[in-house]
Amino acid sequence: MSLAFSCKKDGNPNKLPDADISPSLVAPTDGYIRILAIGNSFSEDAIESHLYELAKESGKTIIIGNLYIGGASLDLHKRNIENSGAAYDYRKIGADGVKKSFPKVSIETAILDEHWDYISFQQVSQNSGQLQTVKDALPAIYNIVKEKALNPNVQYVYHQTWAYQQNSNHEGFANYDKDQMKMYQAIVDVSKQVKDIAPINIVVPAGTAIQNARTSLIEDNFTRDGYHLTIPFGRYIAACTWFETIFKKSAVGMTYKPEGLSTFEASIAQNAAHLAVLKPYEVTPMTDFQGGNGGPLTSAVLIDFGNNAASERWNQLSNFLAGTSASLKDSLGSYTGIKASITERFNGINADGPTSTSTPLNMPSNVSKYAYFGNSKGDFAGMKIVQSKVELSGLDKDQSYSLSFFGARGGVSDNRETKYICTGSNEVAVTLNTSSNSTNIAVAKAVKPDVNGKITITITAGENNNNGTGFFYISALRLMSGS
């Protein structure tokens, strides 16, 4: 990182190298596009992954800066910029695509670091649909940024963020009566009016892009914790939206896609972004991205119970709360028309599973290491979860299915037997001692869906579970046609 202007020591505590003032006033001639976000974790989701690669494919070299404080509001940015607060983790992706982080950097220091072509603002998610909070802070931030910016032709951007997942437990969701569409509409209303609050040139409709994608067969499954975007799918949608908005080039048909994303999923992301840029303030139903193949499974369906980064070939139920669902692909990447939904919540997620396993499921470490858990005998974290339930729907009622379960909690020696009860038109129950497990699975064979094509899986403590709290676990599930 090289600065173009000498800054006060308190705004540059890392003693980043200074440069002569005179070259800073001259626009660079390298042809690079420079984008700076004054943001938080939502700008991290949107621009720190995939935007550089999309621009590169289109023949553009970009430099990306993100002034990051987790959960930062416009009011916090206002106080920081007025007081030269060196409070930011300044993440910078250089022209070579390499990301570096610089701690304890001020907004002024970052502004003077490059001849920025675009500088973006955004409100913290829980206030993103509250107009007065934007009115109270954005004008002051804009005025100081404009005064400091080296590029007289800089374009100012407002990042329209996304509504929470419908089952989100974010405390700020109460601002919108825990109603996703109410939150989305409030965000849209603010982004429509933001140009009347400050001289904003561009609105990036990432919130509308995510809402568009939620009308596809993926449904409401684009966050990893109820509010931050899934990796890589949700982040790719946001990056495509930024790309198309900034470069005025359609993201549809771009060949770059993140590892682990199928061509079909990439098309959902690209089209969701494109439709949002065309209509930034309303949802466009994605009618071409519905349904699945149906019929008997020709390859296994693999389900990961964890909210870490998704693994190739694995579907993920990315939250442990009721209402979490996923449209399932088989291990070859084809959508099956089957849906998995959590209908009774788990207590939380445990990350003490094994990183190496020897089972027929061939799990990568980021599947086996994580498990959703419950506690059937005593309170834990203020609640008692006697059982949890997962529903599989869209199954062929004339077929039978085999369900293989893995669960593990490392570093323990008591018996934490977990019982998996599979109920359709028949009922098959199997058990597995999950304590320090790395080799065993439990297989429920010849399970038949009910007349509606559903199998309900109840997960609870087994009869031999002698843990005082009755902890039970599920890390992974493999679904196959046949017995």
* DSSP secondary structure string for all residues of 14-39: T-PPP--HHHHTSPP-S--EEEEEEE
Residue 4 included in any domain? no
- Residue with more model confidence, 9 or 152: 152
In this structure, the number of other CB atoms found within 10 A of the CB of residue 112 comes to 24
Per-residue model confidence (pLDDT) at position 8: 41
Contact 317, 371 (CB under 8 A): no
Residue 3 included in any domain? no
Provide mean pLDDT across the span 145-167: 97
Residues paired with 329 in a beta bridge: 335
Contact 357, 406 (CB under 8 A): yes
Domain that holds residue 412: 301-481
Q: Which of 244, 278, 312 is the last residue of a domain?
A: 278
Domain of residue 144, CATH code = 3.40.50.1110
Tell me the pLDDT of the chain averaged across its residues. 93
Per-residue model confidence (pLDDT) at position 309: 75
Residue indicated by tokens 């669902």: 325
86 phi/psi in degrees, rounded to 5 = -85, 75
Tokens of 101: 């982080």
Residue 293 included in any domain? no
Whether this model's pTM surpasses 0.85: no
pLDDT in tens, 412-451: 999 999 999 999 999 999 999 999 999 999 999 999 999 9
Both 67 and 155 in one domain: the answer is yes
Between the CA atoms of 43, 47, 48 and 52, what dihedral angle is there, to the nearest 10 degrees? Answer: -170
pLDDT in tens, 212-250: 999 999 999 999 999 999 999 999 999 999 999 999 999
Residue 39 included in any domain? yes
In this structure, the number of other CB atoms found within 10 A of the CB of residue 42 comes to 26
Per-residue model confidence (pLDDT) at position 79: 98
Between the CA atoms of 362, 368, 374 and 376, what dihedral angle is there, to the nearest 10 degrees? Answer: 60
- Specify the range with the lowest mean pLDDT, choosing from 31-40, 164-173, 313-322: 313-322
Both 188 and 268 in one domain: the answer is yes
Let me know if 33 is exposed, middle or buried by CB neighbors in 10 A (0-12, 13-18, 19+). Answer: middle
Report CA-CA distances (Å) from 356 to 260, 303, 364, 416, 475.
21, 18, 8, 20, 13
Both 38 and 145 in one domain: the answer is yes
Asked if pLDDT for residue 353 goes beyond 50, the answer is yes
What is the number of domains present in the chain?
2
Both 48 and 129 in one domain: the answer is yes
Q: Which of 246, 278, 310 is the last residue of a domain?
A: 278
**Residue 89 — very low, low, confident or very high, per pLDDT cuts 50/70/90?**
very high
Contact 129, 187 (CB under 8 A): yes
Asked if pLDDT for residue 468 goes beyond 80, the answer is yes
Helix or strand (DSSP H, E) at 200: none
Residue 2 included in any domain? no
Per-residue model confidence (pLDDT) at position 310: 74
Both 89 and 190 in one domain: the answer is yes
Residue 395 included in any domain? yes
Q: Which of 224, 244, 278 is the last residue of a domain?
A: 278
Residue 233 included in any domain? yes
Share of residues in the chain with pLDDT > 90 (%): 87
Both 221 and 319 in one domain: the answer is no
Share of residues in the chain with pLDDT > 70 (%): 94
Domain of residue 429, CATH code = 2.60.120
Asked if pLDDT for residue 361 goes beyond 60, the answer is yes
Both 378 and 429 in one domain: the answer is yes
pLDDT in tens, 292-336: 655 689 899 999 998 777 788 899 998 999 999 999 999 988 889
Contact 61, 71 (CB under 8 A): no
Per-residue model confidence (pLDDT) at position 292: 63
Both 252 and 391 in one domain: the answer is no
Both 94 and 201 in one domain: the answer is yes
Tokens of 468: 């005082």
Both 235 and 311 in one domain: the answer is no
User: How many angstroms separate the CA atoms of 112 and 102, rounded?
Assistant: 14
Both 138 and 262 in one domain: the answer is yes
Both 316 and 390 in one domain: the answer is yes
Half-sphere exposure of 240 (CA within 13 A, CB side): 33
Residue 177 included in any domain? yes
